[in-house]
Structure 1
Amino acid sequence: MIKTIFTVLGTLLLPMAPPATALSWQDCGDGLRCGRITVPADWAAPEGAQITLGLAKLPARDPATRKGTLVLNLGGPAQQISVLRVAKQAFAELTRWFDVVVFDPRGFEASTGVRCPGRAPWAANAEWVFPDRAAYARYTEQNRRFGLGCAQAAGPLAGHVDSGQGARDLEAVRVALGERKLTYYGNSYGTVLGVAYAAAFPSRVGRMYLDSPIDHTTPSWTAWLLAKAKVKEDNLRRFAAWCATDPSCALHGRDVLKVWDEVMARAAKRPIPAPGAGAGATAGATLIASRATVTFDATWPELATSLAEAHAGDATRFARPSAGVADPDFSRIANCADFPYPAAYRQVKALEERLRRDAPRIGWTVAWPMANLCAGLPHAMAFPPRPVRPRGLPPILVASGLYDDAAPPASARRITAQLDGARHLAAKGGHALYLAGDPCVREHVHRYLTAGQLPPTGTTCGPA
């Protein structure tokens, strides 16, 4: 089973050691240069088994204007180098001033990887809001077997793939790069790594930008989920407001929230026929809740049509198989090491019921995604959420989208308050603001990373 080798206190006080191998760069295609360093599999036992970390660099365009190295983590937890290859244009402006460096986290791709036997069960393309205890029990058993197989395949990495270990890896990367201070940009889950680093090595932070932060500082699952649920509920209301003003909406001129309530009530009582999804196909309330995407404006026209047809008695659009893309299999092991979610059916249902008080239409569904990842996995309390209070930090820039129900602004403000001198930048947008190309956010980020200039307190960027 997945092992927990160190305690929370031990995590904070783990010894630091330089990488065992020097870093040299070689051309690896697509304008990137790649290298490798060696680090301990367990930073609590630095003389024990060793692993390698694979790095890639997008070099600065002009040595005359180069200001240093920016280490980037795009989120996940997942591989980084292959993602940078396809997304490098989004960071082209940053290469005016920086070498942009990424590294694959331990367990992924170019770093010492873990090949889990078989595939992880994926409920995301069906009902990730489970309809009953029996369906969830079957899924939990599948995920348990997958987790045990991963633990056996992980070898010396078993129990050591959390962001506490990752923060030490990040420090080893800084040392190998020869940078006196770390300049860091963490996107989405990459912010968990950034905050962990800031807590462990506050004196070694130069500048740090955290975009759409995932909150790893809140031990209360109810508080953590409520922030997400309220934004998701607001997004449903935003969808309804759009429909009221846009004649192209299939529900234009109707009370959208009333239609939603009626469809969900009917589907909960008796699944709605979905003839276009196959013989005998139907869509119950949990399937509709799983498939209704309210977060992104681009999905609203399809959602409106799906609701209109379901209200008329045909839920085919909700019942058709989804073409969603699954995260890397090993991602859930790393995710649940950082967020050991209470995934017993009764616990998830209790969280759902609590969320329904404040977010009764759709926000309550946020109780389920982490349960999908963590149900049945060997329970590893490697690096659980907890408040941070690092001292001696430089000013840090934290940005979040007002409509982001994965990384809600309330969570971003909570993180900002714990990082002395940090500044929160709000934007009328969703997730991954810089990567999405928000020009206002990008301007503030460039000004901060190159000159240390934070936006004025209370700044909000308008719609991109």
Structure 2
Amino acid sequence: MSRFPRWTALAVASALLAAGCGGDSSDDKSGGLSWGRCEATSDAPAPGSDWQCATLKVPLDWSEPNGETIGLGLIRAKARGDHRAGSLLFNFGGPGASGVSMMPSYAPTVSKLRERYDLVSWDPRGVGASEGVRCRDDKEIQAAESVDTTPDTPAEEKAYFEDATAFGKGCQKDAGKLMAHVSTADSARDMDRIREALGDDRMHYFGISYGTELGGTYAHLFPKKVGRMTLDAVVDPGADTVGHARNQARGFQRALNGYLKSTGQDPAEGTRRITDLLRRIDTRPLPTATPGRKLTQSLAVTGIILPLYSKDSWPTLTSALDTAERGDGSELLALADRYNERDASGQYGTTTHAQRVISCLDGRQRPTAAETKKLLPEFEKISPVFGRYLGWDTAGWCHGWPVPGQHDNPQVSAPGAAPVLVVGNTGDPATPYEGARKMADELGKGVGVMLTWRGEGHGAYGSGSDCVDSTVDAYLLDGSVPKDGKVCS
């Protein structure tokens, strides 16, 4: 689908290493897991010899712990130092991001942490090596690019909702019984089983983007098992489906305004120029260098979204917008393809498939078309560029979904848990800063410890702030809890 996710993985713009989980070539058995080499896939070679993979069996349905099981793919690199503190489990967001794929590429960012921790990640249920869900084939995904995700006519609206219903049916056909058991709460329970299998008394955890919601859910369910937990690029735990969309409209417009100011443009005038461009593209999609493909309005918005995740990518956005103004959609299409995980051969990744299956099981709110239309003026006022897109998404994302949602928002209160370090970035587009404060408050007094970075981009750790990095490192490596409310400029 061409919709951009409500919460996204930190490394959405990066090329991902793919690794399969090997079992027959086990060279290490510990904690009930048989660790062996990580197998190559059709997309990429296996990671280096430092990395080991394993499969852990967990219940399909946690209400029937002795019933049918599924396999979770795990990956790890052992600690390098002599004073090992245990395992540090990572989730990179989405929901739907593959930890097995992303952990090796993220390892250099957290190299200091490897001195004391085994770096461990996994594919959450419904993702990649853990019974990964695929709702459409590549041809169907590309065909759906023609669907207008901001419908202006009854015909476009009909096509929009028919496409959403068809997507859900495709997910159900592929996932089967798993469709009702991929919630965030299910994955939090999986995490505790992973902790047990790794032989750790406490859960040491680093959650990014959606991984912060997963971490908060774990803390709520298992407060006494929380060890050193860091939550970075924090999802607002108090927001429902409409609230998340409203937050992202505000966050992406805020990031766009920052970008426009950096180029010497007045944000209001720059926004008008972009909305005019998108309006023209909606009427007449732009030609591209890729035979048979044009830049639609939906793809153009996705292409604008991607560079806003990192300040380092802002020059790329300038070039793509200038090229589009000249009538060539090639650069914005290339950015949209990177976001949608489409490679040069026309094959697509499935992160968005897993994300939708998980988030539609989590979220109970299902706005109707009529309710969404009433919201559109508010959303367009918040963000003339992204508001309409995100507003319609509240109705289309889970339209006709075959499985009911579980709650309006997650429970993250964790009385009695050890301190949890909550890191918020004032310029974060996908998970706006306000959500971090709410997470710290919801975790509870003495549990949520707030660290603020006055920066740009999605996520703070490893983004160029020595203050943030040293504070997080001191907490995870030595247990030094910073003063609540510390600010890094």
Q: TM-score range by the shorter chain?
A: 0.7 to 0.9
SS for the counterpart of 1:402 is strand
SS for the counterpart of 1:348 is helix
Counterpart in 1 of 2:90? 72
Counterpart in 2 of 1:209? 230
Q: 1:429 to 1:308 in 2, by over 3 A?
A: closer
Offset of 1:455 from its aligned partner? Answer: 2.6
Which of 248, 251, 254 does residue 231 from structure 1 map onto?
251
SS for the counterpart of 1:334 is helix
SS for the counterpart of 1:158 is helix
Matched, 1:195 2:211: no
What is the aligned-residue RMSD (CA, Å)? 3.4
Letter of the aligned partner of 2:337 in structure 1? A
Which of 291, 295, 311 does residue 297 from structure 1 map onto?
311
Letter of the aligned partner of 1:87 in structure 2? Y
Offset of 1:289 from its aligned partner? Answer: 4.6
Query: For each residue in 1:83-116, what CA deviation from the matched residue of structure 2 results, as whole angstroms up to 9, or x when unmatched?
Result: 2233332232211010111121112233234454
> What is the rounded CA distance, in whole Å, between the counterparts of 2:257 and 2:443 in structure 1?
33
Letter of the aligned partner of 1:234 in structure 2? R
Q: Are the equivalent residues in 2 in contact too, given 1:61–1:95 (CA < 8 A)? A: yes
Counterpart in 2 of 1:240? 260
Matched, 1:431 2:458: yes
Unaligned segments of structure 2, at least 5 residues: 1-30, 39-46, 342-349
% identity of equivalent residues: 29
Letter of the aligned partner of 2:37 in structure 1? D
Q: 1:370 to 1:191 in 2, by over 3 A?
A: farther
**More displaced stretch, 114-123 vs 98-107:** 114-123
Which of 420, 429, 433 does residue 396 from structure 1 map onto?
420
Counterpart in 2 of 1:410? 434
Letter of the aligned partner of 2:375 in structure 1? L
Matched, 1:27 2:46: no
Matched, 1:453 2:474: no
Offset of 1:391 from its aligned partner? Answer: 1.4
Q: Are the equivalent residues in 2 in contact too, given 1:143–1:375 (CA < 8 A)? A: yes
Matched, 1:323 2:347: no
Letter of the aligned partner of 1:92 in structure 2? S
Which of 161, 164, 174 does residue 140 from structure 1 map onto?
161
Offset of 1:131 from its aligned partner? Answer: 4.4
Counterpart in 2 of 1:261? 272
> What is the rounded CA distance, in whole Å, between the counterparts of 1:285 and 1:232 in structure 2?
17
Q: Are the equivalent residues in 2 in contact too, given 1:129–1:289 (CA < 8 A)? A: no
Offset of 1:407 from its aligned partner? Answer: 0.6
Letter of the aligned partner of 1:429 in structure 2? E
**More displaced stretch, 162-171 vs 74-83:** 74-83
Aligned residues: 430
Offset of 1:277 from its aligned partner? Answer: 4.0
SS for the counterpart of 1:195 is helix
> What is the rounded CA distance, in whole Å, between the counterparts of 1:91 and 1:259 in structure 2?
37
Offset of 1:182 from its aligned partner? Answer: 0.8
Letter of the aligned partner of 1:85 in structure 2? P
Counterpart in 1 of 2:121? 102
Q: Are the equivalent residues in 2 in contact too, given 1:55–1:81 (CA < 8 A)? A: yes
Q: 1:52 to 1:131 in 2, by over 3 A?
A: same
Q: Are the equivalent residues in 2 in contact too, given 1:343–1:376 (CA < 8 A)? A: no
In the superposition, the TM-score normalised over structure 2's length comes to 0.77
Counterpart in 1 of 2:468? 441
> What is the rounded CA distance, in whole Å, between the counterparts of 2:337 and 2:134 in structure 1?
24
Counterpart in 2 of 1:168? 189
> What is the rounded CA distance, in whole Å, between the counterparts of 2:217 and 2:474 in structure 1?
24
Query: For each residue in 1:193-234, what CA deviation from the matched residue of structure 2 results, as whole angstroms up to 9, or x when unmatched?
Result: 111111111111111101112234323x44433333223222
Q: 1:413 to 1:267 in 2, by over 3 A?
A: closer
Offset of 1:171 from its aligned partner? Answer: 0.9
Which of 68, 71, 74 does residue 55 from structure 1 map onto?
74
Unaligned segments of structure 1, at least 5 residues: 1-20, 245-253
Letter of the aligned partner of 1:264 in structure 2? T
Offset of 1:124 from its aligned partner? Answer: 7.3
> What is the rounded CA distance, in whole Å, between the counterparts of 2:204 and 2:114 in structure 1?
14
Q: 1:183 to 1:308 in 2, by over 3 A?
A: closer
Counterpart in 2 of 1:249? none
> What is the rounded CA distance, in whole Å, between the counterparts of 2:130 and 2:375 in structure 1?
37
Letter of the aligned partner of 2:222 in structure 1? F
> What is the rounded CA distance, in whole Å, between the counterparts of 1:266 and 1:26 in structure 2?
52
Offset of 1:33 from its aligned partner? Answer: 1.9
Offset of 1:34 from its aligned partner? Answer: 2.1
Q: Are the equivalent residues in 2 in contact too, given 1:340–1:374 (CA < 8 A)? A: no
SS for the counterpart of 1:180 is coil
Q: 1:142 to 1:360 in 2, by over 3 A?
A: closer
Q: 1:414 to 1:80 in 2, by over 3 A?
A: same
Counterpart in 2 of 1:82? 101
Which of 142, 166, 177 does residue 156 from structure 1 map onto?
177
**More displaced stretch, 80-89 vs 196-205:** 80-89
Please say which structure displays the higher CA radius of gyration: 1
